[in-house]
Structure 1
């Protein structure tokens, strides 16, 4: 049985979700509550991530996240995930820092969208995820349209993620504001799916809140982790 390595702390709330969800899905796969997976978590500082990106210090970002992944490899992880969307800005370079497989949240989400037959999807996340093209590239390459909210709405979403969701705070007025932005985007762009491209967003946006499928990147990523654990 393979051992997972998780680069966590990005933020702490979603790292807890990864841990709990991974255990639950593993036990379902084993058809037993009397077993637990072996895994390692290397919790790093999400505010360093934001600083490196804001200051355009992407080489430092690669070294920081890549170093965390390498530490997991050194202590025995058989594969590694980075439990957040934003650091995937430099995922291809981070992947080169280890010799074991790394599972991309972006690639996993694209595969899920393709499986569902989605062609016109919206993307929410931190401003870094929405502004950069790392999440958009596979969708555009696969002839799928991917759209983000207006710049002002992006800034609002980012600030509420950082100030509230990253700290485990869920406010009803924030949810209502998010839904207003999303419903406007659905109407204007005729979306057939919405990517929750921040691992904290499922805290506030749930399936059924809107009339299109929500792609929960945490859940999608964890499903890929479980597949990797049971693979030969």
Structure 2
């Protein structure tokens, strides 16, 4: 004899558990650091959910040579158009939130966000939150010349209550050179690590309580052991924010 199903609203709740949101990664700038985004996202999801869990990701990887040419030419609007089109494709493919896997190209973050309906998690916001959580108010900023010298990134941090120091002109030139001529090509040299350590030391002497590693490649070269003050690795901080957003409400285990 068959038994009727319980009427709606009765019996155990059979609704499925919330699932991970799909994170769209807009990367390739350079692929060396985008690979770190992918690795970190999967490691963090596995740590939080356990077992064989991994991150639900979509990746759009652009040709960095095209973007770098537009950077040097100052054609930021055109670069923004390229990235906005890629962001729209990620959304169309099912991305539910986006991360732009580069500090420098947050110069066009507003243009990218305007092209999609899903949230773009701003890297500088995740960084500022971590600095505040550490109880600091003054940070040194390392990054490409564009990030250190233009207002878009420094102002975003300053707008969140932080005082931002940048290296002097000679140090900025060396930090930028190492990023483009070495780290973006997968070259990690001890001499460049030492040069970065000296730049960090001069920022600390100028009053920096912490140092923002404001280029996603810099984490390939230096870390906490290379600084007398806390460092803020923007790649990891950005991925942590994305994973937290993607797993909101998802049960552990």
The bucket for the TM-score relative to the shorter chain is over 0.9
TM-score of the superposition, structure 2-length normalised?
0.88
Structure 2: stretches of 5+ with no match in the other structure: 1-19
Distance 1:57 1:108 in 2: 27
Query: Rg larger in 1 or in 2?
Result: 2
Structure-to-structure mapping, 1:161-180, within 5 angstroms: 161-180=179-198
Distance 2:130 2:40 in 1: 18
2:32 maps to 1:13: yes
Residue of structure 1 equivalent to 2:159: 141
Match of 1:64 among 46, 58, 82: 82
Structure-to-structure mapping, 1:173-212, within 5 angstroms: 173-187=191-205, 189-212=206-229
Distance 2:236 2:161 in 1: 24
Check conservation: 1:66, 1:94, Cα contact below 8 A. yes
Secondary structure, in 3 states, of the residue corresponding to 2:48? Answer: helix
Secondary structure, in 3 states, of the residue corresponding to 2:224? Answer: coil
Residue of structure 2 equivalent to 1:132: 150
Where has structure 1 moved over 3 Å in runs of 4 or more? none
Q: How many Å apart are 1:114 and its aligned residue? A: 1.2
Check conservation: 1:49, 1:87, Cα contact below 8 A. no
Distance 2:197 2:225 in 1: 11
Residue of structure 2 equivalent to 1:78: 96
Q: How many Å apart are 1:145 and its aligned residue? A: 1.1
Residue of structure 1 equivalent to 2:23: 4
Residue of structure 2 equivalent to 1:89: 107
2:238 maps to 1:221: yes
TM-score of the superposition, structure 1-length normalised?
0.95
Q: How many Å apart are 1:185 and its aligned residue? A: 1.8
Check conservation: 1:122, 1:193, Cα contact below 8 A. yes
Q: How many Å apart are 1:142 and its aligned residue? A: 3.4
Q: How many Å apart are 1:13 and its aligned residue? A: 0.9
2:61 maps to 1:24: no
Check conservation: 1:13, 1:200, Cα contact below 8 A. yes
**Equivalenced residues, count:** 230
Q: How many Å apart are 1:137 and its aligned residue? A: 1.1
Q: CA RMSD in A?
A: 1.2
